[in-house]
Structure formats: C-alpha cells, structure tokens
Structure 1
Amino acid sequence: MSSVFNQVPLGPPIEVFALTEAYNKDSFEKKVNLGVGAYRTDKGLPWVLPVVKEVEKRLAADETLNKEYLPVLGSPAFCTAATSMLLGFDNPVLKENRAFGIQCLSGTGALRVAAEFLVKQLGSTIFYYSSPTWENHTLVFNNAGFEQGRSYRYWSAEARGLDLSGMLEDLSNAPEKSVIILHACAHNPTGCDPTQEEWEKIADVIEEKKLFPLFDSAYQGFASGDLEKDAWAVRYFVSRGFELFCTQSFAKNFGLYNERIGNLTVVMNDSEFVLTTKSQFTLVIRGMYSNPPSHGANIVANVLNNPSLFEQWKDHIRTMSSRIIEMRKALRTALEKLQTPGDWSHITSQIGMFSYTGLNENQSMYMVKKHHVYMLKSGRISMCGVTPSNVEYVAQAINETLNSII
C-alpha cells in the first residue's frame, strides 16, 4: 500500500545536536565536547543552580499553587520582573507604561512570536541578520512568513573582530522598516560585541534609515557577570527613543534549558497603543500554543522578586561567567606557550559562551576526526566545554591541526 508520506524528503541534521550524539557514542578517553551551548562545571558536568533548587523546594511545599492555565501572555509576576531586569527597574518607559513583557517558550519562542507579529501586524517583509549568526534566526523568521532574509557583514575573519564599516554600509542600504536582528551581548557564534561607541554608530544608522531593531538577549548576566553591563545596548537604544522588541532567554543565566522560559519585551513610544498591541499578541499566541507553562516562570519570578534570592542568583551568574573567562585565559596561554600559528588575543577579547577560533571547516572537521574534539564546522567552540583538565589537550589539538591542515 502506498503512503501519503512517500514524498517527504529527509531533512538535514541539526549540526549541534548531531555533534552531541556523535560525542556520546565516542569511546575515546580524552574526547571533548565543545559544541553544546550549555554551561558546564570545571568537571564538565551540567549545573543546576542552588538557588533554583531552593526555589523548587519552596514551590513544591506551597499549597496555594495549582496547575490551572496561565493567561495567554503569561505570568504577570514573571513578565514584569523579566522586563524590569532587562530595562532597569527605574527605567522611565516602565513608569510611563510604554513597555511590557510577554512570557514565551524561551528565546526561540519569543523570536517566533515577535516575527509573526511583525509580519501580520506591521507588514514586515525583510529581516537582516549578522554574518554569521545563530543558525536558528533564519529558520524562525522564514517560517514566520518573512519574504526575505538578508545578511549584514559582522565578523572579519582577517581581523578576527567586528567588521564595523561593513556592517554600517549594509545597514545603510537596508530598505526602510526592515527588521534588524541584533545580539544584545555575547554575540553567537563569534563572542565579539561592539563597543559602546560602535553601538552608538549602529544606532545612528538604524535611526536614520528608519529600521526596526529586534534585540536577541540570551546571555544577560551570563556574559560578563554584570546584569547592567550586558543590557547596556538595549537600554541605550531605549534611551534614544527607539521602538523595539527584545527577546529574552533564561536558559543560560538560570540554567533552565529544558523549562523553556523566555520573555518578549516590547517598547513603544505611546502607551495608548499597548492595549491593542497586546490583543494582537494574544491572538498570535492563542493560535500557536495557547498559553505558556508555569514552572520556569515561577522560578524566575520568585528569584527576581526576592532580594535575598536575587543576590544568591547574581553570585551564581558571576560564578559561571568568571569560570568561562578563566578558561579563555587558560586556553590562550596554552596556545601561545605552544607557539601555535596565529594571533590568539581574540580568545580573551571575545565574551560569553562561544568563541570563534578562526579554524576553517577542514581544520574543524580534522579536530573531530583526529583528536575527538567536537566542534562546529564554522570553527565555533563553546568555552563551557573547556575545563582545567582538558585545556592543555585542546590547545595541543589546535596546535597540531594548524600545523597539519591548511
């Protein structure tokens, strides 16, 4: 009997998940996983934040909690806290009721909700993403109905840093009302962020060309250990009067990867349009997943709204960010000690979870096949996978690879 599914082609594997599967099947004793985008301890193990465990115990003992549906736009306590954390608790746009949050299914879900609203309500057709960017940006926006995705120059392979002039030129040529995806901090995959002065120039072009900024904030606090510093770019754009969206993920900074807890912050110039805007977001979400889950929202809301728990959490994000910074220093030191070809200063100048090493596709694949160091073909590595016990091995593998493969 024939099947209606016989015309369905095999889709390409998702590289990072395929890489993890291959790593798990590998029996090599010194294997290293530098592909996964999740925090690891010095021993290479996942970490459930102690403050998260404490709050979960409190939630389990709370007899007032039930399993009723949340509102379509999510938990008000969570949305208010998340939006305030991003914008600053005393930001004028909050006091003037010109900003609000929408609970979504982590950062990816927030991006999808934002993209569908932009297409259906604002008539957006073109979006711009950095070259390179997080691979899911294009898939999410294309699936949401955008007609065209275009890249803007971002990473200079030669300088191993930001191509500001190329970025500004590409944004200057963008059609009016194009949506510009910007990484709020800890750019994925390069780890290379604009300076404050460079952000000002970027904002100038976006304002002049009447483009719509959409920030993706997946690492606030996780990048530098400082919530204020990691939110600077978003707050700067808001202070200049931009209307914008910012998608927030609490996967990394709370370690809530599988709870799928995120927030979409909406900033507008006139509070008169908040009600109608919320009504249309309600319809988008109602037709997508109806309403969000409560557990992750309860955890985050309890932490952000309790001064003692908030301070505990800030200690945790400092612990995570400082470990990554130390591993950057250790890897650079080991590479330079081996006199590895090239300049490795970019390892420590980059920030956040990922580093764009500069290795090309052939070299990256050789790292996997020869040395069992699992990394993406683009040369991106997760610094969380580097530990005190494997940093020397990783450096030796990179050194041998660069001396063997062009």
Structure 2
Amino acid sequence: MASSVLSLASAAPSASLSSHEIEKGKLNLGKYSLCFKKEKTNPFMKTKSVGRISMVVASEVSRFEGITMAPPDPILGVSEAFKADNHELKLNLGVGAYRTEELQPYVLDVVKKADKLLLEKGENREYLPIEGLAAFNKVTAELLFGADNPVRKQQRVATVQGLSGIGSLRLAAALIERYFPGAKVLISSPTWGNHKNIFNDAKVPWSEYRYYDPKTVGLDFEGMIADIKEAPEGSFILLHGCAHNPTGICNGSLDADAASVRMFVARGMEVIAAQSYSKNLGLYAERIGAINVVCSSSDAAARVKSQLKKLLDQSLFKEWNAEMEMMAGRIMNVRQKLFDNLSSKDKSGKDWSFVLKQIGMFSFTGLNKAQCDSMTNKWHVYMTKDGRISLAGLSLAKCEYLADAIIDSYHNVG
C-alpha cells in the first residue's frame, strides 16, 4: 500500500530540493524530514501535492472500515442480562461454570495448595518449550489414556499443550487442513457454538450428523450412526468425549470419563483428542489444555509432534480426584432433585425421566425459544435459547423454583 512516514520538529522548509534527494525518496525540509515511497494505491489513502512533489498521506477513513461486526456471544448476553436483573430469585443457568450450593464461584482447595507450592519453590515465568511443559504433557496423557496404556509405552502419542479445549481443537483443525486437504469433519447437531467457527476459520469443510432427538429429549442414536456411515471415506468425526455440550466433569471418575477415548485406542484407531482443565480444575481463566494425537507408529507420532510444535504430585492428585467427585456429586444431587420436583409437581403425566438419563454439567430441558423467553421474562431464569441449562449454576434450595418455572413455561407457552 502507499505509505509515508513523517517526522516533525519545527522551522521552515528548505528553499531548494535536489533531484537526487527526490529520486532517493528522502526530502530534507529544514528540520522537517519526510520519507516516502511509491507503491500501489490504497482506497484509504489520499494524494497531496506540494509544488512538484506528490505525497501520499493517510486519510481519516480507517483501513479497518470494511470489517463487519461479529455476532454477539449468546452466553455473554445471558450473563449481562442476569447482572442487570435485581430479582431476589434470579438464576443464571447459562454459563457452564461450577458454583457452590450458595451459587458462588469455587476455587478448588487443591489449586490453592498447588499455587502455594509453586510460590514456595520459586517457580518462575520463563518461556516454556514450544510443545509446553514436559511434566504437564506426561501426566495429561497418562490421565487420558492411562499410565500403562500400550500407546504410551510404544511412544505412539504426540502431546503438546494448547489453550484449553478450544485452542487444542484449533490446532487439530490446522493439522487437518494442512495434511488432510479436503477431508470433512462431521459435527453433532447441536454442538457447542464455537466448534463450527473453529473449522470455518481453519477452512476445513464440515457437515452435521444427527444427535439430539427433540421427541425424546435424548440421543438419536440410529440417526447418528446412519449419518456417520454415509460420511465420505477419510472423514473426521467430532465427538464429545465424556459429557455432551449442550445436551448432557461427568460422574467425577477420571477413568469413566476417559473410557470412550481408551476404547477407540484399544481398537487400533488413530485419534485426535483435545483436553481442557477449565471445568475439572476450575481453571477457566488460565486456559489450560492439551492436544493428543494417537498414531499408528512412534515415528508418525514424532513427526506429528514436530508439526504441532510450529505438578507432578501424587498427594495433590488424590486430593483433586476427591474434589472432582464432590463437585460432580453436587451436580448429580441437583439433577435428581430437579427431576423429583418436576415429577411430583407436574400433574399432566409428562415423562421427565430424560433429565436423569442425561449426564454432566448441562441438561436439555426440551423448551423452545418462546418458552425460554418466558423462563427469563416471567421467572428470571437466564438460559440460552436452545433450552440448555447449566446445572452447575443451580442449588438444591432453588430446584423447586426452577421446576415451577419449567412446568409453567412448558404447558402455558406455545
């Protein structure tokens, strides 16, 4: 683009300019100094003449004028509306962040202890290797696959740190785009909203497979399998490893949560697995995660890791496991009590058992957009418009209130 760099001091310009100075593109104007170069024109630049000299100067129109406004984050909008509501019974069931029974943010005790230990040991904040902290990569792979899994012993796993789950998935998308050009990714319908953005930005084609059945408020397993069977050869299937978002920490057991990944690996399948420590460690802001690529050989794993490169304390680990079980247990108790209230208070005979069949932090209510609006406008319950609620933001004390809101909105709003 055409450009100019102007350095101003003071005083009047010199009376004469040599052709040599002009040809070199540098003008000495007394204590004014002007450097310029001729390049292609730009719609955001204007030409200004000074005698026989033409300069290109920046106009008041921004170079970024043509950038469109990104759509608002639906979760952020829910939180902002919740903050502005002064109703004493208001509930924020939009954000997928764990809360205590008093509905306050929770920092795990084990995280506090780990922070203290790091400070006492004098840990610094120096640059890490491109692939991240080696000790972290070792234990995160052990958590996912199991310490004695053959794929680890055979060095067939390439693991590098990523920016939580989303950043790790973005690395996976970049890997697919670069080394599997044209390969399609199949994404569940529905899925977490950012999944589609990730693959769009990486220029990876995707399509949806059936997942949610609104009639049963559960899994459309037959539709899912049929769509996967129809996928082109070489496609990648995006699965939610332990608890589906938005329809379904799981049960608090690390082995149970990792069972699906281990099952695929045991069957000899090559897998790309993104990990996040936002919810199970409460490290939402730190963006801690990893990407693991299981390959058919150690040589392939080494090559993959080379491309991905462009707190090891057993007592704390046991304590973390116990805290996860406590957090997951509270969510399961809330889920059970919500179901109990829905079943006992709704006299229509509607079957609410789908609430118990779902697992994890989230639950689909089966409410449509109009009913969700009623939940917010009448009952001050803030949630996303697809009917998803975060049970982590619900207390046992408010389960009855939420059940009343759901029953009223379901039966009285079309």
Distance 2:144 2:61 in 1: 54
Compute the TM-score of the two structures, normalised by the length of structure 1: 0.85
How far, CA to CA, are the matches of 1:381 and 1:37 in structure 2? 8
TM-score (structure 2 length as normaliser): 0.84
Q: Secondary structure at the match of 2:192?
A: coil
Structure 1 124/98 Cα, relative in aligned 2: closer, same or farther at 3 Å?
Answer: farther
1:252 partner SS: coil
In structure 1, the partner of 2:340 is 333
Please say if 1:149 is aligned against 2:156.
Answer: no
Q: Can you list the C-alpha shifts for 1:220-264, whole angstroms capped at 9, x where unaligned?
A: xx2111111111110000000001100000000001000000011
**Aligned partners of 2:158 and 2:302 also within 8 Å:** no
- CA distance in structure 1 between the partners assigned to 2:396 and 2:89 by the alignment: 13
| Matching residue of 2:366 | 358
Higher relative CO (Cα under 8 Å, sequence separation at least 6) belongs to 1
Paired residues, number: 354
Which amino acid in the other structure matches residue 321 of structure 2? K
1:231 aligns with 2:258: yes
Tell me, yes or no, if the aligned pair for 1:126 and 1:150 is still in contact at 8 Å: yes
> What is the rounded CA distance, in whole Å, between the counterparts of 1:131 and 1:366 in structure 2?
25
Deviation at 1:10, TM superposition (A): 2.3
Cα deviation digits, residues 193-229 of structure 1 (max 9, x gap):
xxxxxxxxxxxxxxxxxxxxxxxxxxxxx21111111
The gaps in structure 1 that reach 5 residues or longer are 192-221, 284-301
The C-alpha deviation readout for 1:47-71, integer Å capped at 9, x for no partner, is: 00001001101111113x2221101
Partners of 1:185 and 1:278 lie apart in 2 by 25
Flag structure 2 segments of 5+ consecutive residues without an equivalent: 1-59
User: 5 Å matches for 1:5-20?
Assistant: 5-20=64-79
Alignment check: 8 A CA contact 1:80 1:100 kept? no
> Is 1:306 aligned to residue 333 of structure 2?
no
Structure in which a larger fraction of residues adopt helix:
1
Q: Which amino acid aligns with 1:57?
A: K
Give the corresponding residue for 2:168.
Answer: 110
Amino acid at match of 1:42: E
CA distance in 2, matches of 1:249, 1:340: 42
Which of these residues, 397, 400, 403, is aligned with residue 389 of structure 1? 397
Kindly indicate whether the alpha-carbon contact (under 8 Å) linking 1:99 and 1:267 is maintained by their aligned counterparts in 2.
yes
Tell me, yes or no, if the aligned pair for 2:156 and 2:294 is still in contact at 8 Å: yes
Kept in 2: contact 1:153–1:167 (CA 8 A) = yes
Runs of 4+ that moved beyond 6 A: none
**Residue 57 of structure 1 corresponds to which residue in structure 2?**
116
Match of 1:39 in 2: 98
Query: Which digits, 9 at most, give the CA deviation of each residue in 1:272-329, with x for residues without a partner?
Result: 222222221122xxxxxxxxxxxxxxxxxx1xx3221111111100001000000001
- Shift, 1:25, TM fit: 1.2
Task: Identify the residue that residue 205 of structure 1 maps to in structure 2.
Answer: none
Q: Map 1:160-309; keep pairs closer than 5 Å.
A: 160-191=217-248, 222-283=249-310, 302=311, 305-309=312-316
